[in-house]
Amino acid sequence: MHSQIEQIYQSVLKRDPNEKEFQQAVYTFLLSIDKIIDELPDVTYHKVLERMVEPERVIMFRIPWTNDEGKLEINRGFRVEMSSALGPYKGGLRLHPSVNLSIMKFLAFEQTFKNCLTGLAMGGGKGGSDFDPKGKSDGEVMRFCQSFMTELYRHIGEDTDVPAGDIGVGAREIGYLFGQYKRIENKFVGVLTGKGLDWGGSNIRPEATGYGLVYLSDAILSDRHMELNGSTCIVSGSGNVAQYTVEKLLDLGAKVVTLSDSSGMIYDENGIDREKLQYVKVLKNVQRGRIKEYAEKYKVTYIPRNSAEPNPIWDVKADYAFPCATQNEITKADAENLVKNKIKLIGEGANMPCTAEAEEYLMANGILLAPAKAANAGGVAVSGLEMAQNSQRVQWTREKVDQELKNIMYGIYKNISEAAETYSTKDNFIDGANIASFIKVARAMIAQGYV
Ligand code: NDP
Ligand code: 2IT
């Protein structure tokens, strides 16, 4: 590492000593930027990197709400407004007990560069709460969302900051949040994306992250004379991203043999067909059940998760792997299993699913890695298209949005592979994604002066 880059990293370690996830996201990003920093003296002069690792604004607040027994509960809420260099802050809201400032900052940091890759005018942000939606009634979730928005509304707006879904935030939560925003502001505007189709949502937004992940992975494979058709795939998670990844993999003729949640995984040797996938959608999105119930219904293998051991899902024989659950779900030991099993491509549906050591090991062993910033950008891309439709007060057809999504994902592939070839090595899409997005955000920051 150049001493200047090393210094920036050391200053992050010193200022944010407890923010492990944020440190990790910055570290892997800086490794890429290190390769081009000599060619960009203005970046050094204008302290662009130093500014990038400090959010423009962080909002932290109390969320009081009453549970079904009438008792008061208090959670912590966050919104990290990381960068408005390219447009209004944009990024999802996560509801999960693990949520803390480090996780919010890592996600907002990644989001800034991901949003840049879509080519749409969006800055980067992320928010959420340590509220745990598991086991809560609809009424509890609604009261929580209303309290959350009662503080958040003053910080967001259709041209300021536009939140959306992430882990634990889907159609139900976006509905409650939107309703409360509208009630307080007396305005029906596109302040959130992922809205219902009847009230300002976009076609293909629920599908977009999973579909986009498969479009980008398919582009990488086709360029190398490989294909999804006839292949065997492993997918982790069983939420929004996992479900629509499986759907598009089926469309393209692949067989998917796994799904998981934080309690365990299922292995279905015969493949998850469309009927079984429909069962998963209802199980997870309506009944809010566990993936174990799939194993009971279809009489397939269920392996409970023991977090002290490597995750058995990454030791299933397959051609391609799609982590779609959460950060750091692939450790070095998991990466060794993936390499041992000759997995040829990893498409990152989740944000930062590989630890830094896992990523290094996978790259050193020649696995094609489609990094999250590029690979899961389809979700926020269609959020950007939802904003565009809201501004014009129109709703595009499924076909049109799907075609736009494909164009954006193929555009991302072209952009990151060209940057990889120019500044790094041909198949290093991590460097390609980091460098291509960094240059554009940096140029915008320099042009806009010291803000
Ligand atoms: P969902 O809440 O719909 O699903 C999350 C899935 O991941 C569930 O199966 C959940 O299991 C599992 N999971 C969550 N936390 C953990 C954990 N700590 N350990 C193991 N499994 C876990 O979320 P999404 O599908 O929307 O998000 C999945 C990933 O994709 C996240 O990394 C998110 O940031 C990323 N992403 C999402 C986008 C979107 O548009 N929704 C866009 C781009 C990226 P359980 O039910 O047991 O918690
Ligand atoms: O990580 C992500 O890109 C998302 N959760 C989607 C963000 C969005 O604004 O649609």
Ligand minimally distant from the alpha carbon of residue 305: 1
Do 319 and 242 contact (CB within 8 A), yes or no? no
Atom of ligand 1 nearest to the CA of 237: 9
Distances (CA, A) of 350 to 167, 262, 317, 414: 10, 14, 21, 21
Predicted confidence band of residue 183 (pLDDT cuts 50, 70, 90): very high
Q: Taking residues 343-370, what's their average pLDDT?
A: 98
Atom of ligand 2 nearest to the CA of 166: 5
Q: Is ligand 1 within 6 A of the CB of residue 210?
A: no
Note the pLDDT of residue 446.
Answer: 98
Predicted confidence band of residue 182 (pLDDT cuts 50, 70, 90): very high
Q: Taking residues 439-451, what's their average pLDDT?
A: 97
Predicted confidence band of residue 59 (pLDDT cuts 50, 70, 90): very high
Q: Is ligand 2 within 6 A of the CB of residue 352?
A: no
Helix axes 356-364, 20-33, angle to 10 degrees: 40
Q: Taking residues 119-142, what's their average pLDDT?
A: 98
Note the pLDDT of residue 301.
Answer: 98
Note the pLDDT of residue 186.
Answer: 98
Do 124 and 87 contact (CB within 8 A), yes or no? no
Note the pLDDT of residue 245.
Answer: 99
Note the pLDDT of residue 172.
Answer: 98
Note the pLDDT of residue 293.
Answer: 98
Q: Is ligand 1 within 6 A of the CB of residue 343?
A: no
Q: Taking residues 137-157, what's their average pLDDT?
A: 98
Note the pLDDT of residue 305.
Answer: 98
Predicted confidence band of residue 421 (pLDDT cuts 50, 70, 90): very high
User: How do beta strands 301-304 and 264-267 pair?
Assistant: antiparallel
Distance of CA 318 to the CA centre of its chain: 23
Digit-coded pLDDT (tens) for 209-254: 999 999 999 999 999 999 999 999 999 999 999 999 999 999 999 9
Ligand minimally distant from the alpha carbon of residue 382: 2
Atom of ligand 2 nearest to the CA of 380: 10
Note the pLDDT of residue 268.
Answer: 98
Percent of the chain scoring above 70 in pLDDT:
100
Note the pLDDT of residue 431.
Answer: 98
Predicted confidence band of residue 322 (pLDDT cuts 50, 70, 90): very high
Q: How far is the CA of 209 from the centre of ligand 1 (A)?
A: 11
Residue having the nearest C-alpha atom to atom 11 of ligand 1: 261
CA nearest neighbour of 358 among 392, 422, 310:
310
Note the pLDDT of residue 330.
Answer: 98
Predicted confidence band of residue 88 (pLDDT cuts 50, 70, 90): very high
Digit-coded pLDDT (tens) for 6-20: 999 999 999 999 999
Mean pLDDT of the chain: 98
Predicted confidence band of residue 168 (pLDDT cuts 50, 70, 90): very high
Do 98 and 122 contact (CB within 8 A), yes or no? no
Instruction: Please state the pTM of the whole predicted model.
Output: 0.98
Return the structure tokens found at 445. Answer: 């920051």
Note the pLDDT of residue 384.
Answer: 98
Q: How far is the CA of 240 from the centre of ligand 1 (A)?
A: 7
Predicted confidence band of residue 33 (pLDDT cuts 50, 70, 90): very high
Evaluate the CA torsion angle 381, 353, 168, 281 in order and state its sign: positive
Q: Is ligand 2 within 6 A of the CB of residue 166?
A: yes
What is the DSSP code (8-state) at residue 212? Answer: H
Domains along the sequence of the chain with CATH: 56-188 (3.40.50.10860), 208-375 (3.40.50.720)
Active site residues: 126
Atom of ligand 1 nearest to the CA of 238: 9
Contacts of 373 (CB under 8 A, 6+ apart): 110, 113, 114, 117, 433, 434, 437
Q: Is ligand 2 within 6 A of the CB of residue 240?
A: no
Digit-coded pLDDT (tens) for 249-289: 999 999 999 999 999 999 999 999 999 999 999 999 999 99
